[in-house]
Amino acid sequence: MRTLRAILGVAAKEFQHMRHDPLTQGLVIAVPLLQLTIFGFALSLHATHTPAAVLNRDHHSASRMLITALTHSAAFDVREVTADPEELQALFRRGAVSAAIEIPEDYSANELYRRPSTLRVWADATDGVTVSQTILAAWGLSLRESAERLLAAQGGSSGPIPVGLETRLAGRAERAADVFVPALTGILIHMITLLFTTLAIVGEKERGTWDQMLATPLGASGALAGKLLAGAAVGLAEALFLLSLMRFGFGIPIRGSVMLLSVVVVAIIATSLALAVLSATFAKSQARGMQFTYLLFLPSILLSGFVFPRGAMPAPIYAFSSALPATFFVRLLRGVIMRGAGFSDVLPDLGGLALISAVLVCAAWLTRERGTTT
């Protein structure tokens, strides 16, 4: 009986500890709630509102009506209408669109004279999640156009003429690894750099040696700079290892500039270091630093567009995912490695990472200042 009371006392002590420990409450309550919310509400296997462009070579009434139908379609989100094939390719390189509908120059004339027409759909091969669904949605569009022509031709002398469809892929992705490995490389570089740097800083605090380092001539700035330099070195080594494995182990070619890829890697590491500094201001132990990294890893994988299409997410979740660094990493690495994007194509995403890094550094500084004054 005494043993049972002792066991119950230990259990009560753990519940008391959890009641006063927000991080433990977060792991017990927030993490399952986050997972259920993401899988039950935010994620969808059906691609809707896919960013799309229209290459209109016709410019007559039938093509304008088709563009209007596309604009009101739930499957596509028409963001650009152009007559220039080069501009269309530039949109794909920038990652601005994932699909395109090409309307031939004789589309309206074919409808008028009851001749066959063929639409062409372009799907971004680097966005492997939405390729098949984009093609299916385009087939649905061609069937609808065919049905309308059938109805219009019922009173005429000519037979019904359907609207056919040709499919083309923008970019090359012959295997699932071609789509997932480049994006996963960026997420792994980010997570390993973040975890190593956070644990390096928090470990000094946990062992009580951080204050001793502050008493040296280096001071706080010098000690922090040393930790960040070590974290940057680990991130660069990890990037070199993972990219070499991607190139020579999986046989995935780098279609863009290696120099630009190096700039992207540096941007990923810089953002990771800024987040590590902010994480270290909150984490009081290495265990909490690891828990923070785990909490960040889940949405980075699920909400960044790495696996699930972001276009199908509800507006609040989509806005939240737009602020995740991993979302920028996925777009940048797929753009440079798979689509051969240039500097002008990735400049908006690089600017977004710079802004995120600046906000993280400012937040870490303000948190530190508040902690030293209280």
**42 Cβ partners below 8 Å, 6+ apart?**
302, 303, 313, 314, 317
Parallel/antiparallel/unpaired status of strands 117-124 and 99-103: antiparallel
Identify which of 291, 297, 254 has the alpha carbon closest to the alpha carbon of residue 272: 297
Three-state secondary structure call for residue 69: helix
Q: What is the dihedral of CA 178, 184, 190, 194, to 10 degrees?
A: -160
Which tokens hold the place of 358? 């600046």
- 326/60: higher pLDDT: 326
- φ, ψ of residue 129 to 5 degrees: the values are -70, -35
pLDDT at 219: 66
Categorise residue 170: left if φ over 0, alpha if ψ from -120 to 50, beta otherwise.
Answer: beta
Q: What is the C-alpha to C-alpha distance for residues 47 and 137, in angstroms, rounded to an integer?
A: 9
* Cβ pair 283, 198 in contact under 8 A: yes
Question: Average pLDDT of 100-118?
Answer: 85
| pLDDT, tens only, 157-209 | 455 457 888 888 776 666 777 888 999 999 999 999 999 998 888 887 777 66
User: What is the CA angle 210-212-218, rounded to 5?
Assistant: 90
Parallel/antiparallel/unpaired status of strands 99-103 and 50-56: parallel
**281 Cβ partners below 8 Å, 6+ apart?**
364, 367, 368, 371
| pLDDT, tens only, 234-277 | 999 999 999 999 999 988 899 899 999 999 999 999 999 999 98
pLDDT at 372: 41
| pLDDT, tens only, 301-328 | 888 888 777 877 778 888 888 889 999 9
pLDDT at 306: 84
Q: What is the C-alpha to C-alpha distance for residues 306 and 326, in angstroms, rounded to an integer?
A: 9
Place of tokens 């000519």: 158
Q: What is the C-alpha to C-alpha distance for residues 137 and 172, in angstroms, rounded to an integer?
A: 21
pLDDT at 304: 87
pLDDT at 374: 39
- Percent of the chain's residues with pLDDT above 70: 80
Identify which of 204, 196, 368, 185 has the alpha carbon closest to the alpha carbon of residue 293: 196
Question: Average pLDDT of 203-216?
Answer: 68
The number of CA neighbours under 13 Å toward the Cβ of 11 is 6
pLDDT at 213: 62
User: What is the CA angle 304-306-307, rounded to 5?
Assistant: 115
Parallel/antiparallel/unpaired status of strands 50-56 and 117-124: unpaired
Query: Residue 325 carries which side chain, given as an amino acid letter?
Result: P
Lowest-confidence range among 40-44, 288-292, 322-326? 40-44
Identify which of 52, 186, 176 has the alpha carbon closest to the alpha carbon of residue 122: 52
pLDDT at 23: 61
